[in-house]
Structure 1
Amino acid sequence: MAEGSLEAPIRHPIPWQDPDFYDEAKLDEELRRIFDICHGCRRCFNLCDSFPRLFDLIDESESGELDTVSSTDFKPVVDACTLCDMCFLTKCPYVPPHEFNLDFPHLMLRYRAVELKKGEIPWSERQLTETDRNGSLARPVAGLCNWAADNKNRLTRPLIEKALGVHRDADLPKYHARPLTLQAKSEVPEVNRAAPAFGRKALLYATCFSNYNDPDIGLAARKVLAHNGVDTEVVYPACCGMPQMEHGDVARVAETARKVAAELRPRVDEGWTVIGLVPSCVLMLKFEWPLLCPDDDNVKALSAATRDIDEYVIDIARNEGMAAGLKPLDGGVTLHIACHARAQNIGQKSTELLKLIPEADLKVIERCSGHGGSWGVMKQNFEVALKVGKPVARQARQAGKAYLASGCPLAADHIRQGMERIDGEAAIPAETHHPIELLAKAYGL
């Protein structure tokens, strides 16, 4: 039997509507089948904490094999998975079409779907996934929310930790009083008709993060695209569902996928490209939604029309050429390649984007930050998340660049927090950036 396939990895649709998907005996059988393969391979030992937990669990059992491990001890292995997809895409030799048919992240997803069905996902954790509700409620009192969520606030953060399970020291994203969708209505940049790419048109899918937490990402993207001749509109029908996906609520994610895809389908048919501003959201639209709704033509059409913002800019650079006006940035950039950008299998588009800036001084780090969406801020995970991300934080600290950037804003902030725990002479950047923001800065926009 060959070790690994010679063909490109493929992913099967997620059979979440099949009753067998939630059958605990069949789930346990599949967990044991896959865990036994992982135990004999161990190539993923350094990706996240799931695999060390699994291997220690087996090694410390009575027989040193899986047969003497109780199924009740599997939960810590599942809990450590952040659904980053790096094991599936970069390490595992046994993914489909190999006959072992191993998809570790989607097995973890199935386990959580069963937990959710049984009512075992904590209420507090599910509240963190309600990004649209939370963003809408926080908007009128953004200043008060940001004061309460500041990790230097020793009055409120212990209360938040007790109520929601969020570690009192974890950096949390700030809320913005004016969401991107509102600002986009009043701040429409003039399209550069002399740019080589004039005539293109794109819908900027705001994502919950850029809409409620950091509208500057979307505003920067819109200005860069307008300067390069692209007519844009900002749309935001709903959150992509990645927060719910992480907690196993696949039915709700599928419902969102159908709703958003149906709403955007007419624009897609008119030739508009859909651009996501955060890699996790792009991954959902491109890959996860079609696996949840494989028979939905609207979802398929939206998937084919979706691009990551960095990917789209590089497409302009390669085909029409970029508009003039880029100037060097002083001090250099440490760039982290987000895991969900890597999972799109598009190459290092963030690196290519920043290399468009004259005299680009880059330190590129392609390794997991350890954050994992809402996973890394939880009380039981925060220190583990910093441990997983320590090699990234160490490289960033040693690089000593003026700017710290990542396509994943949460990852960038987590890396910066890790840098604060590592000694070094160079100053730590006071804030973090999305690559498109640095390109806008280089344009003077």
Structure 2
Amino acid sequence: MSDAQQPSEFDATTAVDEFEPVDVFPSSEDMDLRPGADNCYKCTSCDTSCPVAEVNEDFPGPKFQGPEQWRLKRHEDVDIDDSIMSCSNCMRCDDACPSSVPLSQMHNTARGEYVEKHMDKLSVEYLRNRMLANYRTMATLGTKVPRLANFVMGLDITSYLGDKLMGIPSERDMPEFATETFRQWWKQRGGSKVSNPDKQVAYFHGCYSNFNTTEVGKAMVRVYEEFGYEVLVPKQQCSGTPMFANGMLDDARREAEVNVRELGAAIENGAEVIASCTSCSMALRQEYPELFDIDGIDELAAHTWESLEFLRVNEDLEAKLSEAEIDSQAFAYHAPCHARNQGIDHQAIELFRELDGATIEDVGDSCSGISGTYGWKSEKYETSMKIGAEMFDHMEHAEGDVGMTECPTCSMQMNHGTGYEIRHPLELLEEALL
């Protein structure tokens, strides 16, 4: 080709400047996820990272559940596929996608549309899912008479009827309610023992640390006070995580409005929001601004931290631990999926590996399989246990026979699959520092 035939740099630039993209798909008044869907180039990274697709060959995977389904809906009037209810909402697909397609946002939106338009509101499945999604309501009632509630839930006949009538697997042991909730303890204690307007944190304890594992909430308070923080415990509702997973978006929005308002008031006064559950911090940070348009929601997302993460960033936690020691203990640590999505999946390993007396071993990157309410459904129980099998195996071959994780439902699955005692990193931190 001669020099005269070669395209000049000027010609190429002019061609780029003159190019005008064509909007192929019509816009919609509903939530428009088309730009995210168009970012997908079908590399299938999301499908290969999906723990449900790995063990269930009938599940079409995140790529179909997200971008392909939304592309179809832009072309023609199609219904949401019912397989969306088999997604566990582990959100691993978000972390796997190299194109930043908002997969979990698509899945949550699709689940909400499916439940709203296509699920029979009188069916056992819907009523069961609604009960699981609104665990806070059941737990509020249970903690009114905790000993009686624990006794009744522990009966074989209760497990049998729960399975046959409501589709809650009889293999699972219902978590016991605390005889004193965290908020009752907090009130009896008289609030924070530290008064420091320059160092304040607002604790989002979530449902499980309030109604069940109150020792986690107490450890959080004592550890933060050790570093000179005044702990606030604002009024709060459920984070909404189990509601997202079950397509109950109206319920989740109702809870979110309270949390944004109450936690937002603390932020305005200079506090940062701390969550001890990685699913709760994930909801406040990512799912709220993705799904809801509520005044103050972006500020809440920007000021929310996971409990260990905040201390590692703002205090010399490693130096404090280097001077501490505990009685010799070995732990098998599992990083929750929702911790991985926030980039904090190795923090407990990094934090405690230099603690004198502690041996902590990462049991791998497999999902625990329970995914909140997912493993509490009879039709999903076998799938959840297949997903968790690799984690169980790694735990049983680890040096320690005590598990560790930041996620309360992961801790249920770890205990269920191995029989190990499970602790939260905050509890070990309390033991080492106090």
Structure 2 length as normaliser, TM-score? 0.79
Contact 2:115-2:247 within 8 A present in 1 as well: yes
**2:260 paired with 1:253:** no
1:332 is paired with a residue of what secondary structure?
Answer: strand
- Residue 171 of structure 2 corresponds to 169
For residues 352-363 of structure 1, the aligned pairs below 5 Å read 352-355=350-353, 357-363=355-361
> Separation in 1 of the partners of 2:321 and 2:229?
11
Shift of 1:438: 1.4
Q: What CA distance in whole angstroms lies between the structure 2 residues aligned with 1:73 and 1:229?
A: 51
* 1:233-268 deviation per Cα after TM superposition (whole angstroms, max 9, x unaligned): 223421111111111222332333232212222321
CA-CA distance at 1:155 after TM superposition: 1.9
Deviations 1:149-188 (A, max 9, x none): 33xx322100111232110011332212321111012235
Please, which moves more after superposition, 400-409 or 257-266? Answer: 257-266
Matched, 1:209 2:208: yes
Supply the RMSD in Å over aligned alpha carbons: 3.3
Residue in 2 that maps onto 1:278: 277
- Change in 2 beyond 3 A, CA 1:330/1:272: same
**Which amino acid counterpart does residue 337 of structure 1 have in structure 2?**
A
Match of 1:88 among 94, 104, 123: 94
Structure 1, residues 184-225: CA drift from partner, whole Å, max 9, x if none?
A: 1223564499xxxx9522111110111111111100111111
Q: Which residue number corresponds to residue 424 of structure 2?
A: 434
Alpha-carbon distance in 1 for matches of 2:60, 2:206: 38
After TM superposition, the structure 1 = structure 2 runs for residues 30-429 of structure 1, keeping only pairs within 5 Å, are 41=44, 44-45=47-48, 47-50=50-53, 53=56, 74-76=81-83, 78-89=84-95, 91-96=96-101, 103-118=102-117, 120=119, 122-150=126-154, 153-187=155-189, 188=191, 190-191=193-194, 200-294=199-293, 296-318=294-316, 322=320, 326-355=324-353, 357-365=355-363, 366-419=365-418, 429=420
Do the aligned partners of 1:82 and 1:246 also contact (CA within 8 Å) in 2?
A: yes
Does structure 2 conserve the Cα–Cα contact (< 8 Å) formed by 1:329 and 1:442? no
Bigger drift between 117-126 and 167-176 goes to 117-126
Asked if 1 retains the 8 angstrom alpha-carbon contact of 2:328 and 2:357, the reply is no
Distance 2:153 2:370 in 1: 18
Q: What is the count of residue pairs matched by the alignment?
A: 385
Q: Is the 8 A contact 2:239 2:284 kept in 1?
A: yes
Alpha-carbon distance in structure 2 between the residues aligned to 1:314 and 1:331: 22
For the 8 Å contact 2:204–2:275, the answer to whether it is kept is yes
- In structure 2, distance between residues paired with 1:331 and 1:372: 28
User: How many angstroms apart in 2 are the aligned matches of 1:57 and 1:105?
Assistant: 15
- Indicate the structure (1 or 2) with the bigger Cα radius of gyration: 2
Q: Secondary structure at the match of 1:275?
A: strand
Secondary structure (helix, strand or coil) at the match of 2:233 reads strand
Report deviation, 1:115: 2.0
Measured at CA, do residues 74 and 292 of structure 1 come closer, stay the same or move farther in structure 2, by a change above 3 Å? closer
Distance 1:57 1:291, change over 3 A: closer
Tell me how far 1:313 sits from its aligned partner: 2.2
TM-score, scaled to structure 1: 0.77
Contact in 2 for aligned 1:278/1:408 (Cα 8 Å): yes
In structure 2, list runs of 5 or more residues that go unmatched.
Answer: 1-27, 62-68, 73-77, 120-124
CA distance in 1, matches of 2:59, 2:188: 56
| 2:182 and 2:211 in contact (8 A); partners too | yes
In structure 1, the gaps of 5 or more residues are: 1-17, 59-65, 97-102, 420-427
Q: Please tell me whether the aligned partners of residues 133 and 248 of structure 2 are also in contact (alpha carbons under 8 angstroms).
A: no
More helix per residue: 1 or 2? 2
The percentage of counterpart residues that share the same residue type is 22
The Cα of 1:229 is off from its aligned counterpart by 1.7
Secondary structure of the residue that 1:49 maps to in structure 2?
Answer: helix
